[in-house]
Structure 1
Amino acid sequence: MKKTDEGRTLDAGALKALAHPLRVRIYDLLSERGPQTASSLAVLIGETSGATSYHLRALASHDLIEEVPDRGTARERWWQRPKGRINLPGPGDVATPAHRAAAQIVNAEFFRRRHEMLMEYLNRSQEGQPEEWRDTGLVVSTYLDLTAPQMEELKSEIQQLLDAAVERYRGQSDPDARRVAFRAELFDLATGPADQEES
């Protein structure tokens, strides 16, 4: 795995190790819920602890996850996702068809899970939520007409906002805090501005 200031880019071995739906789910749960054991992950995803233990070892062998220092016992190991961003290579960034297929599996599973989480949020009743958490979310969809440089500028602004929030709230231990998902999607539709389309 290649590490830079902009995050870690998964190499072919790490990508292949992650290219399994259950491993992507485990990796995601470690990001979402923090350190877990094979047993606690088994309960969360409905698998045996033997299966989750096997997948944890496969992820650890490529430094995708790490054992939590000074926690657990010889029989019950705790695992966490290392801090920092990971970058998944796009289809054009991988050299072989096998690696391209692995990248597609990982991307598809990550985005399937993101969509699932969004739908869980949208379908959740606000009545059961504490008053201070009601209507705190924001789901926005809009269309803009941008040039490529304008899109790069907007992407940079969004990334700066996210980086600042990560720094500001990193390691927060307020008992009233909840884990929050931040999603940003910005991509061109390759059709040109709406007013130039022919009917």
Structure 2
Amino acid sequence: MAEQPEERPFRTLDARSLRGLAHPLRMQLLDALRFGGPATASQLAERLGESSGATSYHLRQLAAHGFVEDDPERGKGRERWWRAAIQGLLFDDSLLTDTNPAVRGAADTYLHEVATAQGRELATWIGTRQDWPEEWNQQWDMSSMTLRLTPELAQELVEKMHALVESYRDLPATENDPQAKTIRVQTRTFPLTTH
């Protein structure tokens, strides 16, 4: 896998950038570049089962909003390589209550696509786990826990979970370890309607 630049920023979504990103294919393209490294529109089209015309168009839209950029170290002649311009995204909850209905709609689209993508990733793991070494088949988790909390305690729990996960980011011991793999940690904390 090609390496991405080390100092890519996190991007907080605002109303304008959210409308530029809140499209299923654009979100898939951005994730493909963030996690798979630089690629051409044709390579991304093949990987995602789309036409190169569609991927080219949506890559240009992502570039217009600063999510992706040209990769000047790659490409010869007319071949255009793209790379992610950001490391990650931060979602501002105020977008869900924006006065503009188009912004609220884009926020809903974005959140639904994130949930869909996370489910797709988990389903892919379940469907391909037999292809992984036995030690990885013993070290995964799909848990559901139910708690009774106030909004303040729920926020405290989320912050503590995030801090714990962050404490495992970029550990020097895993840098050259051939057993180390990129793993996905997904968290969800939300209230349930009970009867």
TM-score by length of 1: 0.79
Note the alpha carbon deviations across 1:141-172, whole angstroms, 9 max, x for none: 11112233322221111111222223437x94
Match of 2:163 in 1: 160
Change (3 A) 1:95 1:8: farther
In 2: Cα distance, 1:70 partner to 1:24 partner: 24
Contiguous gaps of at least 5 residues in structure 2: 1-8
User: Which residue matches 2:26?
Assistant: 23
Aligned to 1:3: none
Query: Who is 1:183 aligned against?
Result: 186
Q: 1:76 aligns with which of 76, 79, 92?
A: 79
* Residue 65 of structure 2 is aligned to residue 56 of structure 1: no
Superposed CA RMSD in Å reads 2.5
Cα distance in 1 for partners of 2:154, 2:178 equals 38
Instruction: Map Cα deviations across residues 24-60 of structure 1 (whole Å, 9 max, x no partner).
Output: 1111222332222211101111122222111111101
In the alignment, the residues of structure 1 paired with residue 125 and residue 45 of structure 2 have an alpha-carbon distance, to the nearest angstrom, of 23
TM-score by length of 2: 0.81
Number of equivalenced pairs: 185
- 1:89-168 paired onto structure 2 within 5 Å: 89-90=92-93, 91-126=95-130, 128-168=131-171
Identical counterparts, % of pairs: 37
| SS of residue paired to 2:81 | strand
Deviates more, 1:69-78 or 1:105-114: 69-78
Q: 1:51 to 1:148 in 2, by over 3 A?
A: closer
Cα distance in structure 1, aligned partners of 2:129 and 2:65: 40
**Partner SS, residue 165 of structure 1:** coil
Q: Using the TM superposition, give the Cα deviation of residue 89 of structure 1 relative to its aligned residue in structure 2, in angstroms.
A: 3.6
Give the CA deviation at 1:103. Answer: 1.3
Structure 1 Cα separation of the partners of residues 129 and 193 of structure 2: 37
Provide closer, same or farther for how the CA distance between residues 35 and 165 of structure 1 changes in structure 2, counting only shifts above 3 A: farther
| Shift in CA distance, 101/163, structure 1 to aligned 2, threshold 3 Å | same
Structure 2 SS opposite 1:70? coil
**Mean Cα deviation higher: 97-106 or 27-36:** 27-36
**Partners of 1:115 and 1:18 in 2: CA distance:** 19
Distance 2:184 2:43 in 1: 21
Stretches of structure 1 that go unaligned for 5 or more consecutive residues are 1-5, 192-196
